[in-house]
Amino acid sequence: MNGRPLALITGASSGVGEAIARALAPTHDLILGGRDADALSALGVELPGARPWPVELTEVGARDVAGIDRLDVLVHSAGIARLGAIEGLAASVWRETYEVNVVAVAELTRLLLPALRAAQGHVVLINSGAGLRANPEWAAYAASKFALRAFADALRLEEDEHGVRVTSVYPGRVDTPMQRTIRAQEGGGYKPDLYLHADSVAGAVRQAIMAPPDAHVTEITLRPAPR
């Protein structure tokens, strides 16, 4: 690492997380978090100033973030979606969804708060349109994203005195491997032209991160444009 701002991105092995890593690479050194070690290593070779951080986010502890004393950007992009009607959602689905989408986010943020405060850094949480409204068969995912929204709002108020900025991003459906899996669960055809591009979400995230010190971008909502 060469003294440039440092960003840690979860879910960096594919989709929106990978796109954010590519968008920040020209100006930031990167820690690429995720479970796919091979994909992270390949991306780390491709992006100067990047290193892979293979990790199971639900098991992260202090040892995993040891040595990160100053962190300018923390992007939470990792997440899972398990769809189904409430009558068929076992408790295990709810627990897994909350563990990945909420608890892991809260714990990693807590562990990195000293480093974020030292840099007066920026936390970006990739939420979802499901964090603003719930639809049938999306109960577990939407509930976790509503909880993520509440976490971000509380964090923003608590950390304002330390100069830490917090941005929630609410994209509509994005053309990613995760979205293709979701569409398959729903049993419908996949039409990528009806979805946002991951690069578009990454561009909005970069704009929020690069905003001047007097501008705190608290929320971003993106929807696919008609085309």
| DSSP H or E stretch at residue 116 | helix 104-119
Q: Is residue 190 part of a domain?
A: yes
Encode pLDDT of 105-144 as tens digits: 999 999 999 999 999 999 999 999 999 999 999 999 999 9
The helix (run of H) or strand (run of E) holding residue 76 is: strand 73-76
Question: CATH number of the domain that 151 lies in?
Answer: 3.40.50.720
227 within some domain: no
The pLDDT score that the predictor gives to residue 175 is 83
Specify if 1 maps to a domain.
no
| Rounded distance between C-alpha atoms, residue 221 and residue 13, angstroms | 23
- Write the CA distances from 82 to 58, 167, 199, integer angstroms: 17, 25, 24
Q: Among this protein's residues, is 190 annotated catalytic? A: no
Marked catalytic residue, from 98, 141, 190, 195: 141
Structural domain including 109 reads 6-222
pLDDT for 161 beyond 60: yes
Domain presence at residue 132: yes
Residues 194-223: tens digit of each pLDDT: 889 999 999 999 999 999 999 999 999 999
Q: Is residue 143 part of a domain?
A: yes
Report the domain count for the chain. Answer: 1
